[in-house]
Chains A and B, each alone.
Chain A
Amino acid sequence: MVVAIIVAFVGALTAPWLHRWLGHAAGWVLALLPLGLAFYFASLLPEVVGGQTLRHSLAWVPSLGVNFSFYLDGLSLLFALLITGIGTFIVIYSGGYLKGHPDLGRFYLVILLFMASMLGLVLADNIVTLFVMWELTSLTSYLLIGFHHSEFRSRRAATQALLVTAGGGLALLAGLILLALMGGSLEISELLGQGQLLREHPLYLPALILVLLGAFTKSAQFPFHFWLPNAMEAPTPVSAYLHSATMVKAGVYLLARLQPALGGSEVWSSTLMLFGLATLLTGATLTFRHTDLKRLLAYSTVAALGALVFLIGLVPLTDYYAAMGFATFLLAHSLYKGGLFMAAGAVDHEAGTRDITQLGGLFRVMPLTGVAVVLAGLSLAGLPPVLGFIGKEVLYVAALQAAPAWVVGLAVLGFAVGAMLALLLVVPFFRGQPPQKVHEGPPSLWLGPLVLAGLGLLLGLFPGLYNPLADAVASAVKGKTVAYHLKLWPGFNLALLLSLLTVLLGVGFYFLYPRLQAWMAQEPIPGPENAYVALLRGLMRLAAGVERLLQSGSLRAYLAWIFAGLVGLVGLALFRGGALFWPAGASSPRLEQVLLLALMFLGAIGALRLRSHLAMVVVLGLVGAGVALVFLLQNAPDLSITQFLVETLTAILIALVLLQIRSIGPVPRGRWLDKGLALGLGGVVTLLMLGMLAQPFEPHLSQFFAQKSLPEGFGRNIVNVILVDFRGLDTFGEITVVGLAGLGVWALLKRRRREEQP
């Protein structure tokens, strides 16, 4: 399992290279990666269905309990199969959809990296691994939404999705850490057994809120749903894969995964049901505003995600219907929504528009896509004989069992909008005239939708095929073994009546749609997105204010801020800490020391009095050279050499800089503020030194280095051994900074020269 994830990541990295080598056929070849992984996971089906769970671990930071550990049960297996199975068709589809795009190689790379991260996410057992993978999916999603990066709308949508999901990710991290502290383990499989302890812990509520924030932002739950429809700026394969079938379900996955640990409390069920229902209704209502195929599908995805969260909330309240409904509806939705998105993209690709009011008569020219849309549409509408019907039936049974009647009524309304959408999608294939010169796309464009929709039909007709895995999924969500018999025809019951009502309402909505659409699309509806925009604008304004204050562009101002901060903070610390001392028992100075001090003092006074910058540099050199001589007198030749050299080179550098800015003129008189600051800085540093001298000398470190330098570092020069051996990592960091500074100077000079000579 660890190997599978590594293969996925490494395989992704070969994508650009394979693409360059294979050209147009690359999509088909690259699809072998997810296909192979899908077969691998399918081969694990018997074990998992038989009730086993697999666990593999690779040590990462074992001392902190952080491991690359992975855990496979029914829930993670279903997700793994979805990710790799749908991923196969998405990769093939991308090859056709983005044929000839100059950045296609990069696209393959990122979408396969996403696949690998998503696999890691659903298989992760360690919460640190889970979080890393979680953030990786957010990042790859950002890159994919912004794939058309030259367009402002793409960039804005990508940033929005990233800020919302990564912001939630931070909350999630905090929540997961709280859970780990409460349960005493970083492994989810161990936390799952401690539900009782977790729920009764005083930190349960804060942890729950944080985890929910993470899950709700990722899975586009109200009030964070707005980023998902905007993410439709992404190329269609991305919308089909990330933003309907897999990534947006990560939040749902996490909630389902933690259900046995966190579920069972009043607040869990009521919160999930409330937000799930609100999301379902928000998605359903906003559907009416749009005529763009992808937007319509996006709002329907929002609604479906709401339904899934609602179901997870129901799980502890019902015996097994909710868990089973979750298992079935999740698969059904991924199949039909992935298929519909790809079909919508194919229509857009061939007909040049995604506006359902402009499309018509497509079945005659695109029969294969048409069959796929009809089958997927049946699933979306929840009609027999497809899997979507079964999923919705079980959902209704679960809702009737445990939810109040008005909640069930609202859910029916939400699903009726789905039925309406199915009609909206199917009708353009049959009514009206086909546009000129539209024809079926290449196999890469219709294969995916057809197979996914066909699977929905197959599993609908023979639910027994899915039943064992569905039981395993439901058991994982429920936290105990579930065995339920999935049937296409459950007989006449209240749920069937509700299904009938849903479809009738959907047809009614369909006839109301044109008028409602025209009315609702008129005005922008204020929503949580306005809060997001306002927040972002406020942040920008704050940043601009801080920048005006601190980044004025004047070097003098920067130095003044830094020095003033230093004086203030160090001075405060010295004052508060009571570290103001006069060293006791200092020996009287020797003659050469007094002479040196006098020289340095003269240099300092000269720097204050002189009016030429260049002369100032030279005079300050006296101070530096004096310090170097002091080092020499104190038997520190290394320090002394370094000080001399640095002094020299600094003088050269400053002189060169001064040559550049000839307009600087002589130093003006006065400047009492600057002089005061300089005096303050010198004074504070002096006090600091005196304070340090007053501390008792702690010889441990010096003795350690003196003793170990020769036997362990093989060097007699302790300073050098410390630099290159004992503290080598620090030195490496320092030379990296030096190198970067050199690069920075080079870039600044280069830019300036280009500005002068365009």
Chain B
Amino acid sequence: MNTLILKTTSRFLFTLLLLLSVFLLLRGHNEPGGGFIGALVAVGAYALFALAHGVSAARKLLPLPPLRLVGWGLLVALLSALPALLLGRPLMTGQWFSLLGVKLGTPILFDIGVYLTVFGALLSAIFGLEEAAHHPSEDA
């Protein structure tokens, strides 16, 4: 899509949306938000940017290919379940500790895993479809 307004605003919106998404992820345990919602906002940010600047430009703004993020997300979520086992508690029992006055715990790690998985999977689909739209086939 080739409109100047979209191109310019999408840069600001992209950054803002990403910030919002991380904000939603981190505050999710106490206020409305969470990994799933945060991931959806982030996907929205990238989808918007890709619409304005093209998928390849959007891909460059990713640290890892989307499907790799899915793998990492599942791994992080899985790892967050294990500390409880090592401490002799049932699998996935939340483990909390305090670091410099900030309360941290395995459920937050789990939520980050959810975030990465949902983000990667949805973005992979959107990017893939958008790229395919540039090589449309007449059959189907």
Q: Which residues of A contact B139 (CB under 8 A)?
A: 663
CB distance from B65 to the nearest CB of A (A): 10
Give chain A's interface secondary structure class.
helix
**Does A641 have its Cβ within 8 Å of any Cβ on chain B?**
yes
A742 in contact with B125 (CB, 8 Å): yes
Chain B 83-122 interface 0/1 with A at a Cβ cutoff of 8 Å (1 = within):
0000000011010100000010101101101100110111
**What separation, in Å, do the CA atoms of A649 and B51 have in the docked complex?**
13
Given contacts A646-B40, A723-B34, contact A714 B110 (CB under 8 A): no
B136 in contact with A662 (CB, 8 Å): yes
A715 in contact with B125 (CB, 8 Å): no
A728 in contact with B81 (CB, 8 Å): yes
User: A-B pairs with CB below 8 Å: how many?
Assistant: 162
**What separation, in Å, do the CA atoms of A715 and B33 have in the docked complex?**
12
**What separation, in Å, do the CA atoms of A126 and B130 have in the docked complex?**
56
Contact among B24, B124, B126 for A652, CB-based, below 8 A: B126
Q: Which residues of A contact B137 (CB under 8 A)?
A: 660, 752, 756
**Does A539 have its Cβ within 8 Å of any Cβ on chain B?**
no
Contact among B41, B92, B133 for A656, CB-based, below 8 A: B133
A641 in contact with B32 (CB, 8 Å): yes
Contact among B32, B103, B107, B125 for A746, CB-based, below 8 A: B125
CB distance from A505 to the nearest CB of B (A): 66
**What separation, in Å, do the CA atoms of A742 and B65 have in the docked complex?**
12
A642 in contact with B33 (CB, 8 Å): no
**Does A638 have its Cβ within 8 Å of any Cβ on chain B?**
yes
| Closest B residue by C-beta to A637 | B32
Given contacts A660-B136, A721-B29, A735-B73, contact A713 B78 (CB under 8 A): no
**What separation, in Å, do the CA atoms of A756 and B131 have in the docked complex?**
14
Contact among A641, A645, A657 for B129, CB-based, below 8 A: A657
**What separation, in Å, do the CA atoms of A738 and B114 have in the docked complex?**
10
Pick from A641, A736, A741, A753 the residue with the most CB of B within 10 Å: A641
**Does A729 have its Cβ within 8 Å of any Cβ on chain B?**
yes
Q: Which residues of A contact B81 (CB under 8 A)?
A: 728, 732
Chain B 33-60 interface 0/1 with A at a Cβ cutoff of 8 Å (1 = within):
1111100110110010000000000000
B73 in contact with A739 (CB, 8 Å): yes
**Does A285 have its Cβ within 8 Å of any Cβ on chain B?**
no
Pick from A723, A725, A739, A749 the residue with the most CB of B within 10 Å: A739
Q: Which of A710-731 contact B (CB under 8 A)?
A: 713-717, 719-721, 723-725, 728-729, 731
Chain B 52-81 interface 0/1 with A at a Cβ cutoff of 8 Å (1 = within):
000000000000001100110110011001
**Does B5 have its Cβ within 8 Å of any Cβ on chain A?**
no
Q: Which of A616-643 contact B (CB under 8 A)?
A: 637-638, 641-642
B30 in contact with A717 (CB, 8 Å): yes
Chain A 647-681 interface 0/1 with B at a Cβ cutoff of 8 Å (1 = within):
01100110011011111000000000000000000
**What separation, in Å, do the CA atoms of A742 and B29 have in the docked complex?**
26
**What separation, in Å, do the CA atoms of A649 and B37 have in the docked complex?**
12
**What separation, in Å, do the CA atoms of A604 and B103 have in the docked complex?**
47
User: Interface residue tally of chain A, by bracket?
Assistant: 35 or more
| Closest B residue by C-beta to A750 | B128
**What separation, in Å, do the CA atoms of A745 and B125 have in the docked complex?**
6
**What separation, in Å, do the CA atoms of A416 and B54 have in the docked complex?**
81
Contact among A653, A724, A745 for B110, CB-based, below 8 A: A724
B133 in contact with A659 (CB, 8 Å): yes
CB distance from A434 to the nearest CB of B (A): 60
| Closest A residue by C-beta to B32 | A637
**Does A584 have its Cβ within 8 Å of any Cβ on chain B?**
no
Q: Which residues of A contact B138 (CB under 8 A)?
A: 662-663
**Does B140 have its Cβ within 8 Å of any Cβ on chain A?**
yes
23 cross-chain CB contacts under 8 A: A638-B34, A649-B126, A652-B47, A714-B29, A717-B31, A717-B33, A720-B33, A720-B34, A720-B111, A724-B108, A725-B94, A725-B107, A732-B78, A732-B92, A732-B110, A735-B73, A735-B114, A735-B118, A739-B120, A739-B121, A742-B125, A743-B67, A753-B135
Q: What is the interface of chain B, defined by CB distance below 8 A to chain A?
A: 24, 28-37, 40-41, 43-44, 47, 66-67, 70-71, 73-74, 77-78, 81, 91-92, 94, 96, 103, 105, 107-108, 110-111, 113-114, 117-118, 120-122, 124-126, 128-133, 135-140
